[in-house]
Amino acid sequence: MTGKLDEAERLPVDQVHIEREVTQETPDGTTLNATVFRPTASDDVGVPAILNRSIYGIPEDVVARGWYLDDALVSKALAKGYAVVYQSTRGTGKSGGEFDWAESEVTDGASAIRWIADQEWCDGRVGMFGGSSRGLAMMLAAAGNPEPLKAINPIASPAGGGDGTIIDGAIQANSFIPWTMKLATLTAGRLLERGELDDATFEAIGEAATAATEQTTELASYRPFFDLPDHVFADVSLPETLAPKDLIPFWEPWLAREGDDPYWEQIDPRYMYDQMDVPALHVTGWFDSMQHGTISNYRGMTEATPSDQYLIVGPYPHMNIGQTMCVGEIEFGPSAGLTGLTFSGFAELQVEFFDIYLKNKEPAANSLFDPAEPSVQTFGMEPDGGRWTTHEAWPPADAEQRTWFLASDGNANENLDDGELRGTAPDGKQPADTYVHDPDDPVPSRGGALSCRSVHYPPGVHDISNLQERPDVVTYTSPPLDDAVELAGPGEVTLHYETGGEETDFVARLSHVFDDGRAFNLTDGITRTGWGGSESPAAEIQLWDTQYRIPTGDRLRLEIMSSHAPRFDPHPNTSQPWHASPDDVRPAEQTIHHDHDLPSALTVWTM
């Protein structure tokens, strides 16, 4: 999202005001800290402003080598006559109060927008930008319905406070552990500035957090997972008033709750879409660990409000928009870097978006924002590259749902040729497939929508054929395709099952099978039985969105397994999985039914 610009693209430093530690008082009297970048021309005439609210503090590299900030959007926005405001959210950075998204984020975000609009240097029009948790911050601010808010640009944004962490009950451990360790160091820095930690303790916390990040694979299976911070910081001499979990503000609030707890509604935009009547440019990548949240937000706001909604999805991992042309084992080509679209750079597109809604400029003909053009642009992946496509909606209006039914002779975990995907429902009895899920020997993650922080398990498309040969993985494969099939949208697997555990996980993953036996992962999903009070004997596994073309003659394969680590924390096969001790962990025999009475099936959108 950042990038160095030519001097011609920047305002000279003497034409930019940089105002640090500017304070805003919230309605309840809490002081929030901000840094304001604005053109000196705003001394005479108010300008529109764009706001970034962050839990990570405010960038300090604001003047280096004559530049005010090494960020493409900020540089272009200032040059085009915008003010840019970075604000630390409540309880983070130098802002006052205690961090709590549930209690304050909607009202704090809305009040920040109104505060900016009231400044003499602002013309009363405000937009928001940012990615990941900052995208969530703007979604919640929009739910406060502040009148000055004219447009938002959420990038890789989750659809809820816990949504980027907890997927249908399972923790995205490969993302969550490094992220929470980063938050622990930020909390420690805040305490150090307050004089509540000494230098030695601060350094010890940082060293422990770094070590934990490097051990993410092992720590994904730590028991009990709820007590992981106690384990990570066990050798750090913390003050008596500070518990290890206090270093991670929402560890306990999130992991102590079930999926049906009303708490989640307070930090989940999905309950608030009808309150977000604001134009939005949603951006994500197929291999982003928060991809499903961004697309859910696009769909939800499109259905709930009349405001313009736009969506861009490329072949990118988390927060690497337009910068990556190769993710995994496929080289997607130079067009994947956004040059194949109708704009030359992502920051230019962002400014164009804000120009339309904050400055009332007419959209360029044939652009994404032209009312006569489709409002969705997605990168259609192929085995040897891909191309950008445009659509009126997502899934595309010309896409159709297609269902394959699972079938086998009962040996789908032993023989890759046994399990089949058939176009017709079973008409009689079939032997079920069984496998054993051992939490202490989980199926290792490879590729997919993983965090960009991953070192051992990078995101993207990879050959997973050797993983499909494990006895704890069952596979179902289509015949060679008579015609090419392009997946375009989400998918769903209905799974009739029995488990030997009290509760358990089921993971579904799709792959493209080549005639030489290679199998490239395409998309996946997980469900945790019992999460949210569910007691259904059929699991519904939601496959994340993708767009990928499988050529004629190749095959589509569905895998079913019960672990995918460290992308997800391995289920111990007990109730209360995050509180299970090592002694509670047990293997469980899993049974997959797929006959006339209990038909298990895969449904996907295809073009």
With bands split at pLDDT 50, 70 and 90, how would you rate the model's confidence at 103?
Answer: confident
* 200-219 average pLDDT score: 96
**Residue 310 reports pLDDT greater than 90:** yes
Output 31 or 69, whichever has higher pLDDT.
31
Q: At what angle do helices 199-214 and 173-194 cross, to 10 degrees?
A: 170
* 318-343 average pLDDT score: 67
- Specify which of 262-271, 444-453, 568-577 reaches the highest per-range mean pLDDT: 568-577
Residue type, 148: P
Output 38 or 249, whichever has higher pLDDT.
38
Q: Is the peptide bond before 566 cis (omega within 30 degrees of 0)?
A: yes
Cα–Cα dist 534/260, whole Å: 9
**Residue 326 reports pLDDT greater than 70:** no
Output 334 or 26, whichever has higher pLDDT.
26
Q: Counting Cβ atoms within 10 Å, is residue 98 exposed (0-12), middle (13-18) or buried (19+)?
A: exposed
Output 167 or 232, whichever has higher pLDDT.
232
| Percent above pLDDT 70 for the chain | 91
* 225-232 average pLDDT score: 98
496 and 592 Cβ atoms separated by less than 8 Å: yes
In eight-state DSSP terms, residue 431 is P
**Residue 40 reports pLDDT greater than 80:** yes
pLDDT at 451: 67
With bands split at pLDDT 50, 70 and 90, how would you rate the model's confidence at 60?
Answer: low
* 271-295 average pLDDT score: 93
Where does 61-199 show beta strands of DSSP type E? 83-88, 122-131, 149-155, 166-167, 170-171
**Residue 562 reports pLDDT greater than 60:** yes
Record the tokens describing residue 383, joined without a space: 């085995």
462 and 535 Cβ atoms separated by less than 8 Å: no
Condensed to tens digits (0 to 9), the pLDDT of residues 374-429 reads 999 999 999 988 999 999 999 999 999 999 999 999 999 999 999 999 999 999 89
- Please choose, from the candidates 33, 1, 29, the residue with its C-alpha nearest in 3D space to the C-alpha of residue 19: 33
Three-state DSSP state, 233: coil
Record the tokens describing residue 215, joined without a space: 């051990």
The dihedrals phi and psi of 512, each to the nearest 5 degrees, come to -95, 120
**Residue 334 reports pLDDT greater than 90:** no
pLDDT at 324: 58
**Residue 73 reports pLDDT greater than 90:** no
Condensed to tens digits (0 to 9), the pLDDT of residues 111-148 reads 999 999 999 999 999 999 998 888 899 999 999 999 99
The dihedrals phi and psi of 263, each to the nearest 5 degrees, come to -50, -40
pLDDT at 325: 60
Condensed to tens digits (0 to 9), the pLDDT of residues 520-544 reads 999 999 999 976 555 567 899 999 9
With bands split at pLDDT 50, 70 and 90, how would you rate the model's confidence at 212?
Answer: very high
Condensed to tens digits (0 to 9), the pLDDT of residues 565-584 reads 999 999 999 999 999 999 99
* Across 17-31, 248-262, 442-456, 562-576, least confident range: 442-456
pTM of the model: 0.94
pLDDT at 74: 85
Cα–Cα dist 184/541, whole Å: 33
* Across 73-77, 192-196, 535-539, least confident range: 535-539
| Percent above pLDDT 90 for the chain | 73
CB atoms within 10 A of CB 482: 8
Half-sphere exposure of 245 (CA within 13 A, CB side): 11
* All residues at 6 or more sequence positions from 8 whose CB lies less than 8 Å from its CB, including other chains: none
Cα–Cα dist 208/130, whole Å: 29
In eight-state DSSP terms, residue 161 is T
With bands split at pLDDT 50, 70 and 90, how would you rate the model's confidence at 99?
Answer: confident
Half-sphere exposure of 550 (CA within 13 A, CB side): 27
* 540-561 average pLDDT score: 98
Instruction: Give the position of tokens 């451990």.
Output: 173
With bands split at pLDDT 50, 70 and 90, how would you rate the model's confidence at 226?
Answer: very high
Q: At what angle do helices 133-143 and 101-117 cross, to 10 degrees?
A: 70
Mean pLDDT of the chain: 90
